[in-house]
A and B are shown apart, each in its own frame.
Chain A
Amino acid sequence: MAKHDTPLLDQLESGPWPSFVSDLKRQAETKPECWDILGQLELSYKDKITHWKHGGIVGVFGYGGGIVGRYSDVPTQFPGVEHFHTVRVNQPASKYYSTENLRAICDLWEKYGSGMTNMHGSTGDLVLLGTRTENLEPFFWDLTHELKQDLGGSGSNLRTPSCCLGQSRCEWACYDTQEVCYHLTMHYQDEIHRPAFPYKFKFKFSGCPNDCVAAIARSDFALIGGWKDDIRIDQAAVKEYVAGNYPSNGGAHSGRDWGAFDIKKEVLDLCPTGCMWMEGDELKIDNAECNRCMHCINVMPRALRPGKEKGATVCVGAKAPILDGAQFATMIIPFVKVDKESEFQEVIDVIENIWDWWMEVGKNRERVGETMQRVGLPTFLSVMGVEPVAQHVTEPRSNPYVFWKEEEVEGGFERNVAEFRKKHAM
């Protein structure tokens, strides 16, 4: 494979941000197919159009996902990317790696692939970009036998679950996101590898309402940490903040002079529920009014911490706009225990409740959020065995079109029109 002239891409080598073009060129020294990646991309920059064809079905035997097929539409010009399939490798929870493991993956990809990767795909997988069909099985053999690792999901199945870094390095994590993520990934290997759902289904685990993995925006099943008791206050540290000895927001605003820290303006007045006040130099919180928005904790991490009775909130049904518009996940279960001793049984029960129903009533290519929209939230709640509470809505309905059920109305729907006419002549 020869080098190609890439005058357009070359312009993406300058500038302070890391350049994928320089990186590709460097890799091309040992993996010449990278010249063809550059060549075809240059052609796209010239034509302003993609040069990849529909994928077709490729994969490893027995798995319905994990590989995204891809072929070039200009293979004679760029034979090195004639086949350019993507391999999704299930990432370790929170994307920590040992260099030993990463180097082994690199060696494997040097042997079987283009040498290019995405660290990581937006679902969370470690994405290995570009290989030929005949390399897939040998790659998979080495991945499972030598590295003892596995592919992630793609297609109408459980997609590779992902989590924030949680308790591993964050003081606010209200449950062990890594352990749940790992445990459920292992528990549902079959659902990840063998598509049996109406459409894709995603789990994401965030340890607190800051939601650093965007569970509420991106997952069909979002587990977002929270607490049900009182925010823990260290009054001595509050004084340090007030005195300006600790940086607000963990120093996140230190690049600009915003003036001296003003606890009233920056914390009390921005508390969305107005449930905080000062008594002298003591900070008070009416915890019954708090909606756990994290603002005060974000601003004063050394003084305030989530409470001690921790668990998580279950939100269901986020999806991208295609087709009827984007949906955030809807709060379904205010609080569940996320408990390793029970092997997360409470969480598993909720998930399987959703699946049993969705696999039966969900239409082909219908995300669970769309199925929920179609049947309505009251129906979904009753499927879930959840009593509706005012927390399920931001406000009650403003139309009066209630779908009363027959059994809910005294005497039922059956009536005798002849009896009616005796009193009400027409």
Chain B
Amino acid sequence: MGYDPNNPMEGRITDLGPPHYSKFLPPVIKDNKGKWLYHEIVQPGVLVHVSETGAECYTVRAASARLISIELIREMCDIADAHCDGYLRFTTRNNVEFMVDSKDKVQPLLDDLKGRGNKFPVGGTGACVTNIVHTQGWVHCHTPATDASGPVKAVMDELFEYFGSMKLPAQVRIALACCLNMCGAVHASDIALLGVHRKPPMIDHERISGVCELPLAIAACPLGAIKPAKAEVNGEEVKSLKVNVDRCMFCGNCYTMCPAMPLADPDGDGIAILVGGKVSNAKSAPKFSKMVIPFLPNNTPRFPEVVSAVKNILEVYAKDAHKYERVGEWAERIGWEKFFEKCNIPFTDKCVDDYRLAYTTWRTTTQFKYTSATDAYTK
């Protein structure tokens, strides 16, 4: 038995949904669900949860690259079989967690992980930089303005000491999305890396009428920058499109609708950095990330400009912020003008909002701080 292409509907099963989670809970989790009293991070990457029954669950959190092979998953399974009764879980930020039900099982587990080279570094808890939420990039997507897995690897290599320690003022969440679609949801991260295009789409007049519905491509543009136009192909006039480049914000929506409007470009594409967002409702309300560096080049394979920009922001924050203060809370307390000064990041017109509803970010008070940027007025 198996799939029969001549009889595709025969025996078909649909709408099963996911397996029930209770089949996959380690016994100590299953027995104490809803009874947990408190938790503590006993060392970086190791949590203990204590139940009102007295039971304890020790969790060891290790990094993964998210883009992982079945060979590596099988290795994770070997570890879970050897130490964790055959159960494991993954976190929302691409870490893998191994759980054991007593303290004496922790060290052997840690030793095992450590014995496997750089495959399973332990950390990602507390006031740290945990794993980077990211997207597909050049490994799978058709619209990226940068890669995902490569920049993540390069950044985390450099920030590695902050993954396995807890010495920051608060947790710092980094995310990367490889185009403005932001599948990786970077709009609310402490530090967001965002792939951006900077050249308007080219128009492939020869192919466009064959592969695109012209009205759909026109409608796809949020800024109404695309107009119908005639073009000449091999001496014949054909129906095509043109782009008003002054209006284009390089979002790539047209390309998503119409493959004959490619905008990717080795020099045009790169990474913007946004900071100060947060998702959690803890202390202050959730915040969006704000653009502080509009463009850094795609300098493969290790994206050195991006790596050093992230490290710089992180370390200035680490030195200057109060305990419990997230990056955005710190920037708001000192003022964004001070953020730019302390991080030594040049402020340019690109960081002034000129899109819709932009006015809400213009300063409409006389309360500001003088920084070196205002020397021209004060000195």
Contacts and interface: CB of A to CB of B under 8 A. Distances in A.
B241 interface: no
B316 interface: no
A212 B323 CA distance: 20
Interface string B86-112: 111111101010010000000000000
Given A11-B302, A92-B21, A97-B87, 5 more contacts: A17-B121, A18-B65, A48-B298, A84-B140, A211-B281
B312 interface: no
B209 interface: no
B144 A99 contact: no
Given A252-B126, A255-B166, A325 B357 contact: yes
B126 A209 contact: no
A301 B39 contact: yes
Contacts of A424: none
Interface in B236-291: 251, 253, 259, 264-266, 269, 279-284, 286, 288
B281 A293 contact: yes
B256 to A, nearest CB: 8
A109 B71 CA distance: 11
A255 B167 contact: yes
A247 interface: yes
A86 B280 contact: no
A298 interface: yes
A216 B279 contact: yes
Interface in B48-89: 49, 57, 59, 63-74, 76-77, 80-81, 86-89
Interface string A133-169: 0000110111011001110000000000010110111
B157 interface: yes
A100 B80 CA distance: 10
Interface stretch (A113-121, A280-288, A403-411): A113-121
A116 B345 CA distance: 39
Contact of A150 (B15, B181, B183, B266): B15
Contacts of A211: 279-281, 286
A120 B279 CA distance: 19
Contacts of A21: 153
Given A92-B21, A94-B21, A169-B29, A23 B166 contact: no
A326 B282 contact: no
Interface of B: 1-3, 5, 8-9, 11-21, 23-26, 29, 33-34, 36-42, 44, 47, 49, 57, 59, 63-74, 76-77, 80-81, 86-92, 94, 96, 99, 118-121, 125-128, 133-144, 147, 149-150, 153-154, 156-157, 160, 163, 165-168, 171, 180-185, 187-188, 222, 251, 253, 259, 264-266, 269, 279-284, 286, 288, 298, 300-302, 323-324, 355-357
Contacts of B99: 169
A324 interface: yes
A51 B126 CA distance: 39
A371 interface: no
A385 interface: no
Interface string A330-365: 000000000000000000000000000000000000
A387 interface: no
Nearest to B178: A50
Interface string A12-36: 1011111111011011001000100
Interface of A: 8-9, 11-12, 14-21, 23-24, 26-27, 30, 34, 37, 41, 44-55, 61-63, 70, 84, 86, 90-103, 105-106, 109-110, 115-120, 122, 124, 129-130, 137-138, 140-142, 144-145, 148-150, 162, 164-165, 167-171, 173, 176, 178, 182, 185-186, 189-190, 193, 209-214, 216-218, 224, 247, 249-256, 258, 266, 270, 272, 292-295, 298-299, 301-302, 320-326, 328
A12 B18 contact: no
Contacts of B73: 102, 105-106, 117, 119
Contacts of A186: 17
Contacts of B135: 122
A253 B142 contact: no
Residue of B8, B12, B57, B69 ringed by the most chain A CB atoms within 10 A? B69
A84 B142 CA distance: 12
B8 to A, nearest CB: 6
Nearest to B353: A325
Given A270-B283, A293-B283, A217 B89 contact: no
B282 A61 contact: no
B24 A171 contact: no
A101 B286 CA distance: 37
B272 to A, nearest CB: 12
